[in-house]
Amino acid sequence: MLGLLIVAPVVSFLLLATSPRLFQQGASYFTLRYIREALSGSTGRGIFDSLWVSTLVAVFSTALATLVAWLVQRTNVYGRRVWGFLMWLLLLVPTWMMTLGWGDLLQPYGAATIVGVNSHWLYGEFFGPLGIVAVLTTAALPFAYFIVSAAMHGLGSEFEDAARIHGAGRVRTMRTVLPIIAPALWSALAIGFAETMSDFGVAFTLGYHANFPMATYTLFAAISNFPANFSVAAVIALILIVSTIPPIALQARAARGRSYAVISGRTRTPRRREFGPVARLGVTAGLAALFVFALGAPIVGAVAGSFVRNLGIYTASGVHLTTAAYQAIVHPSITGKSIGAPLALSNQLGVVVATATGVLAYVLGRRLGAGHGGWGQRVTDVFLLGSVAIPGIVLGVGYIFFYNLSAISTHLVSLYQTLPLLMLALTANALPGQTRFLAGPLAQVQPSLAEAARVHGARRWRTWRVAQLPLVARILVWGWLLTFAKTISELAISQVLYPPSQQPVSVTIQAYLGNDQLGTGTAMTVLTLVEMLGVIGVVLGLFRLLTPRGWRRIGWSGVRS
Amino acid sequence: MTSPSAPSSAVVLEGVRKEFSAKVALDDVSLDVPAGAFLVLLGPSGSGKTTLLRCLAGIERPTSGIVSIDGRVVAGPGVFVAPERRRLAMVFQDYALWPHLSVARNVAFPLAGTSRTKGERTRLVGDLLERVGIGHLAERFPNELSGGEQQRVALARALAADVGLVLFDEPLSNLDADRREQLRVEIATLTRAVGATAVYITHDQSEAFALADRIGVLNHGRLVQLGAPEEIYRRPASAFVARFTGLAGEFPVRVVEPVGRHLFRVTPLFAPATTLSARAVEPLGRDGDVRLFVRSAGVTLLPETVRDGLPGTIRDVAFTGRGYEHVVEVGLGATLAKVFSASRYERNAAVRITLDPESCLVMPADVAEESR
């Protein structure tokens, strides 16, 4: 199954990099021509840009995430639950939405102008490396935060106590303790790098408009331009995947031969650093400022911008507010600009993909968590780890290529330019990450809980329903919501695989934005975000209402009895 | 729950073997447990006792051999009965209480699907919780209970199952000494009160001796001795069993002469001028190296003024509540540990010790080394 979903499309596509004749895409069975071609001109610059931007973003996001995790986990900063929630929200907002929000906020005659702020000077800076690094850092921040935060949560205060008791000051204590969570820091760096390398949203919007080519966009351009050059696209895809090997290898090397097992039955709950009233207010304000920058500004920018008449266009009478953009998209009969069908389609995709991914990831996650499987399990494990590093755009283009091969479309299955193919690609894209997301919590469920149910007379179904499901229900629901939200706002795969006349909402929005209909695109973005958050709220509300009290007592890391 | 309600089940294992990849966890284990008996399986970590219990429960499938419960083969060639169809209950080492269910619902779990009405179930659960002393905690969740309370819930759940066989997987190992003692008594009395057959595993010899009708000693996946507690203590089948069931010390000796069918006079090398009486565990010749095993219970500590016994010096003393345990150095550097006396002897005090022949066991040194 994983072979058809991921391996075959990606590998056959990657083979084009040096062997285009294998699939009738060129004259040579082996050539380095496309590698040279990909490394020169704007594609070469795109690869170079992606590499240095990703390195910088990985370092910035890990440093920032470590600071935030320490403040939230180890100090008495106000609103610790709120910051955790906002990190989740940040995780759900796609980078193209952030870019759009920032653009709406800063552009001349945009949202900032409503309150009389002249942001011309910043707008120019935003459409360049500075804005790109800033947006991508905020996008990578939640990934790094959740990794570092989990490590800090498990790190008892005895290590700090021991250092302090033996004469270390604060700085030396930090230098002593931080290496204990080194694997988490390396992991955060690796994921920050891989996520940034594979990001398409910023490359497609901000990067393109700023004339700052990035690898994922040049890959898209290679197959979108006429004539399409799949071999150059394959070289870029190969570089995108291979580029994630060094940070992962560094992570593995850092952890090799040492034990970082810090959680045991004797681990004490970490003691919090007690800030004084002024310092406490200060660091709380600092955190608030971070989230205003990362989340508040783009959301406010998008929402405010969606109400500006002729957003981004000079009007002699000044900036005026209007609901015209919303009226246009909710009354399609007047303008033909409907959000209804694309949003409904994206919701359908979200539900189907999140459900299919949830079921498959649960099965695979349990296999991974079982911990004593044979080579089959190890292969699955390595494969899923590697697949996380495959960018969506690579998978999407791989699907176009593989399912358009005559051997496949004529003799096996004809899925090219159909909705099922888009669903399959989105599922394949979400599956590795979702499996990794579920594997940890699933592994935490003590096997003895199921064994106790079986021994006391419960059959398999009742054992699962009574002794297993309640323990993992919350993480399954969160996993479903995460995939649902990511699918609705997914751009890379949707952009290359949507069937004719069936555009998902993210593609529709980009089409309006590309046609200088900024207000319409922004209003659609806001409604999509509101709808997405609404579904999340409803599902979480239903979970709270419909599940027994005991189910809700089980925390993410509290599944042990 | 005041009288036996389910017929107790006899358990028979024949040549049971269990392999995990290349590791043999159980090797040709055969034993039978009469209906209503309390069998304790005793052994060190890695001896295979948990694997044996899990094979009985149906959580693990034996690689070969036959397991029968109450005359029915539940595991054997071509047969494997799922755990839920074996009609047994189990108390787990980590309690295995479902954290999302209240205490009452945890205990009521085995009652689902029985012919009892809801009212009867509620009453039975209430009775059981009262019986184990936590009736007031019925609506609490497991994480709101102490370790001892959690273990009581696990015990009540096992008893609620109303089955003929109850398995205990080191149920007291996570508790402090005070609670261990208290719960040990409750496990013994309640299990016997319901009349179920019990198979209980532990690595604690005092727990085993206190609970068992019969003890099976396991080592490296093999059952090395099965018998009544007294038999295991007085007539250990091997040096391993002797060591594992508690020794004050182990010393090289020389055989002087046989004085009965199994009794010998020996001279300890740490006190060449003296002779002691000791019982042979294995057949013993007059020649060859021989080792003496001394049980703590057979060592009597006397003041220096008494003329009998071997001279010694107190090296350490520990108060145990009901008296004192001493470490005594005897003769040429030999040490006897856990020597009990109601009176306290101070460190470095000169004393005398006598050894009861029934508590002194001898066997050839090579046999003793083999079973290490």
CB contact at 8 A, A489 and A528: yes
Strands of the B72-76 sheet, one edge to the other: B23-33, B11-20, B64-69, B72-76, B79-80
- Reported confidence tier of residue A162, pLDDT bands at 50, 70, 90: low
- Taking CB atoms and an 8 Å cutoff, what residues of chain B touch A459? 82, 84
Q: Residue B187 in contact with residue B154, Cβ under 8 Å?
A: no
A71, A289, A293 from A77: Cα distances, Å: 6, 14, 19
Statement: residue A125 has pLDDT above 60: yes
Stronger pLDDT, A424 or B178, i.e. the higher one: A424
Helix axes A95-106, A518-546, angle to 10 degrees: 130
**Is B364 buried (19+), middle (13-18) or exposed (0-12) by CB count in 10 A?**
buried
**Which of A377, A454, A456, A460 best tests the B interface by mutation, with the highest count of B CBs <10 A?**
A456
pLDDT score at A318: 66
Establish if A342 belongs to a structural domain: yes
Give ipTM to 2 decimals. 0.72
Q: How many CB pairs under 8 A join A and B?
A: 94
Q: Look at residue A561 and tell me whether its pLDDT is greater than 80.
A: no
Phi-psi region of B348 (alpha: psi -120 to 50; beta: other; left: phi over 0): left
The stretch B94-103 carries a mean pLDDT of 87
Task: Find the range with the poorest average confidence among A57-66, B172-181, B272-281.
Answer: B172-181
Contact B82 A459 (CB under 8 A): yes
pLDDT average, residue stretch A156-180: 71
User: Which of A377, A444, A448, A455 to mutate to test binding with chain B, by most B CBs within 10 Å of its CB?
Assistant: A455
Query: Using one digit for the tens of pLDDT, what is the confidence trace for B109-124?
Result: 988 878 888 999 999 9
| Residue B321 DSSP symbol | S
**Amino acid type, B95:** Y
User: Which residue(s) pair with B196 in the sheet?
Assistant: none
Return d(Cα A426, Cα A357) in angstroms, integer.
9
Contact between B28 and B79 (Cβ < 8 Å): no
Chain B: residue whose CA lies nearest to A558: B99
B163 → chain A, closest CA residue: A456
Cα-only R_g, chain B: 24
Q: How many Cβ atoms from other residues are within 10 Å of residue B195's Cβ?
A: 15
CB-based contact A459 B84, cutoff 8 Å: yes
Tell me which chain B residues have a C-beta less than 8 angstroms from the C-beta of A554: 99-100
Task: Tokens 């590309």: give the residue.
Answer: A514
With CA atoms as reference, report the closest residue to B337 among B275, B278, B250: B250
Instruction: Select from A226, A234, A225, A227 the least CA-distant residue to A19.
Output: A234
Per-residue pLDDT, B371: 61
Q: Return the residue in B50, B53, B100 with the most chain A beta carbons within 10 A, the one to mutate for interface testing.
A: B100
Residues A89-98 have pLDDT tens digits of: 999 899 999 9
Of the CA atoms within 13 Å of residue A195, those in its CB half-sphere come to 27
* Residue A255: per-residue pLDDT: 61
| Cβ-contact B26, B220 below 8 angstroms | no
Quick one: pLDDT band at residue B31, thresholds 50, 70, 90?
Answer: very high
CA distance B26 to B55: 10
DSSP state of A5: I
Nearest by CB to A550, from B94, B100, B158: name it. B100
Q: What is the pLDDT of residues A454-510, one digit of tens each?
A: 999 899 999 999 888 998 898 899 999 999 999 999 999 999 999 988 899 999 999
Q: Is B84's CB within 8 Å of A454's CB?
A: yes
Question: Which residues from chain B sit within 8 angstroms of residue A466, using beta carbons?
Answer: 98, 101, 109
Assign residue A84 a region (left: φ > 0; alpha: ψ between -120 and 50; beta: otherwise).
Answer: alpha
Q: Are the Cβ atoms of B96 and A451 closer than 8 angstroms?
A: yes
DSSP assignment of A227-260, as one string?
S--HHHHHHHHHHHHHTTHHHHHHHHHHHTT---
- B156: pLDDT strictly greater than 90: yes
Could you tell me the pLDDT band of residue B316, with boundaries at 50, 70 and 90?
Answer: very high
Predicted pLDDT at A262: 44
Closest residue on chain B to A550 (Cα): B100
Who wins on pLDDT, B235 or B13?
A: B13
Name which of A553, A554, A561 is nearest B96 (Cβ-Cβ). Answer: A561
Question: For residue B150, how many other CB atoms are within 10 A of its CB?
Answer: 24
For residue A267, the model assigns a pLDDT of 45
Q: Do B99 and A454 touch (CB under 8 A)?
A: no
Mapping DSSP to helix (H, G, I), strand (E, B) and coil, where does residue B295 land?
coil
Between CA A210 and CA B73 the distance in angstroms is 76
Q: Is the pLDDT of residue A412 over 50?
A: yes
Q: Does the pLDDT of residue A314 top 70, yes or no?
A: no
Nearest CA in chain A to B57: A455
Domain contains A478: yes
Q: Residue A284's pLDDT is what?
A: 96
In the structure, what pLDDT confidence band is assigned to residue A261 with cuts at 50, 70 and 90? very low
Q: How confident is the model at residue A369 (pLDDT cuts 50, 70, 90)?
A: low
Q: What is the pLDDT of residues B177-198, one digit of tens each?
A: 777 888 888 889 988 888 899 9
- The residue written with tokens 């007085």 in the block is B234
Burial of B35 by CB count in 10 Å (0-12 exposed, 13-18 middle, 19+ buried)?
Answer: middle
Lowest-confidence region among A124-128, A175-179, B165-169, B187-191: A175-179
**Which of B98, B116, B168 is best to mutate for the A interface (most A CBs within 10 A)?**
B98
Burial per residue of B115-140, b for 16 or more beta-carbon CB atoms within 10 angstroms, e otherwise: eeeeeebeebbeebbebbebbebbee
Residue A336: CB atoms within 10 Å: 7
How far apart, in whole angstroms, are the C-alpha atoms of residue B103 and residue B144? Answer: 10
Q: List CB contacts (< 8 A) between A551 and chain B.
A: 100
For B207, the enclosing helix (H) or strand (E) is helix B205-211
> What domain count does chain A have?
1
Is B89 close to A451, i.e. CB distance below 8 A?
no
Between CA A16 and CA A24 the distance in angstroms is 9
pLDDT at A264: 40
Amino acid in position A430:
A
Instruction: Grade residue B142 by pLDDT with cuts at 50, 70 and 90.
Output: confident
Which residues of chain B lie closer than 8 angstroms to A462, CB-CB?
112
Chain B: give the shortest CA distance to residue A455, in Å.
Answer: 5
Contact state of A457 with B161 under an 8 Å Cβ cutoff: yes
% of chain A surpassing 70 pLDDT: 86
Q: Which residues of A touch B (CB under 8 A)?
A: 446, 448-449, 451-459, 462, 466-467, 470-471, 548, 550-551, 553-554, 558-561
Q: What is the pTM of this model?
A: 0.77
Please tell me the predicted confidence (pLDDT) of residue A528. 93
Contact between chains at B109 and A466 (C-beta distance less than 8 A): yes
- The model's pLDDT over B62-71, given as tens digits with 9 standing for 90+, comes to 999 999 999 9
- CATH code of residue A539: 1.10.3720.10
B23 contact A CB<8A: no
Look at residue A499 in the predicted model and tell me its pLDDT. 92
pLDDT exceeds cutoff 50 at A266: no
Would you call A446 and B101 a contact, using CB atoms and an 8 Å cutoff?
no
A190 in a structural domain? no
In chain A, residues with a C-beta closer than 8 Å to the C-beta of B59 are 451, 454-455
Q: Per the CB < 8 Å rule, is B102 touching A550?
A: yes
Q: 3-state secondary structure string, A36-105?
A: HHHCCHHHHHHHHHHHHHHHHHHHHHHHHHHHHHHHHHHECCCCHHHHHHHHHHHHHCCHHHHHHHHHHH
Q: With an 8 Å Cβ cutoff, are B99 and A561 in contact?
A: yes
Phi-psi label, residue B42: left if phi above 0, alpha if psi -120 to 50, beta otherwise: beta
Residues of A in contact with B87 (CB under 8 A): 457
Check CB contact under 8 Å for A553 and B82.
Answer: no
Q: Which residues in B lie closer than 8 A to residue A560 (C-beta atoms)?
A: 99
- Under 8 Å between Cβ of B13 and B64: no
**Mean pLDDT estimate for chain A:** 84
Question: For residue A50, is pLDDT > 80?
Answer: yes
Partners of B142 on chain A (C-beta within 8 Å) are 561
Residues 122-141, chain B, touching A (beta carbon < 8 A): 141
Higher local confidence (pLDDT), A143 or A318: A143
3-class DSSP assignment, residue B223: strand
CB atoms within 10 A of CB A298: 23
State yes or no: pLDDT of A414 exceeds 50.
yes
- Maximum mean pLDDT: which of A46-55, A412-421, B350-359: A46-55
Identify the residue whose tokens are 């590795």.
A432
Label residue A263 by pLDDT band (50, 70, 90). Answer: very low
8 Å CB contact of A454 and B58: yes
How sure is the predictor about B3, in pLDDT bands with cuts at 50, 70 and 90? Answer: very low
Residue B3 CA to its chain's centroid (Å): 26
Query: To the nearest whole angstrom, how far is the Cα of A153 from the nearest Cα of chain B?
Result: 19
| Stretch B15-31: mean pLDDT | 93
- For B13-17, B36-40, B109-113, B225-229, which range has the lowest pLDDT when averaged over its residues? B109-113
Q: pLDDT band at residue A37, thresholds of 50, 70 and 90? A: confident
Structure tokens that stand for A48 in this block: 């170079």
- Let me know how long chain B is: 372
When scoring A472, A476, A561 by the number of chain B Cβ atoms within 10 A, the one with the most, hence best to mutate, is A561
**A210 domain residue, yes or no:** no
Contact criterion met (CB below 8 Å) for B218 and B224: yes
**pLDDT grade, residue A53 (50/70/90)?**
very high
Secondary structure (DSSP) of B90-133: EE-TT----TTS-HHHHHHGGGTTSS--HHHHHHHHHHHHHHTT
Domains of chain B (ranges; CATH) run 11-242 (3.40.50.300), 246-370 (no CATH)
B250: pLDDT strictly greater than 60: yes
B361 touches chain A (CB under 8 A): no
- The full 3-state SS of A493-524, as one line of letters, equals HHHHHCCCCCCCHHHHHHHHHHCCCHHHHHHH
Please indicate, yes or no, if residue A36 is contained in any of the structural domains.
no
SS3 assignment, position A290: helix
Helix (H), strand (E) at residue B352: strand B350-355
Q: Taking CA atoms, what residue in B is nearest to A554?
A: B100
Residues of A in contact with B158 (CB under 8 A): 456
- Amino acid identity, residue A115? V
Residue B356 CB partners (closer than 8 Å, separation 6+) = B297, B298, B299, B300
Which chain B positions have a beta carbon within 8 Å of A550's beta carbon?
A: 98-102, 105, 141
Name the packing angle between helices A340-370 and A375-387 (round to 10°): 140
Q: Say if CB B311 and CB B330 are below 8 A apart.
A: yes
Contact: B96, A448; criterion CB under 8 Å: yes
- Amino acid letter for position A85: F
Question: In the Cβ-directed half-sphere of B225, how many Cα atoms lie within 13 Å?
Answer: 24
> Does A477 map to a domain?
yes
**Burial state string for B258-282 with b = 16 or more CB within 10 A and e = fewer than 16:** eeeebebbbbbebbeeebbbbbbbb
Domain range for A468: 1-15+325-561
Using a CB cutoff of 8 Å and minimum separation of 24, what contacts does A377-384 make?
Answer: A380/A2, A383/A2, A383/A6, A383/A7, A384/A431, A384/A432, A384/A435, A384/A436
Report the chain A residue with the minimal C-alpha distance to residue B108: A456
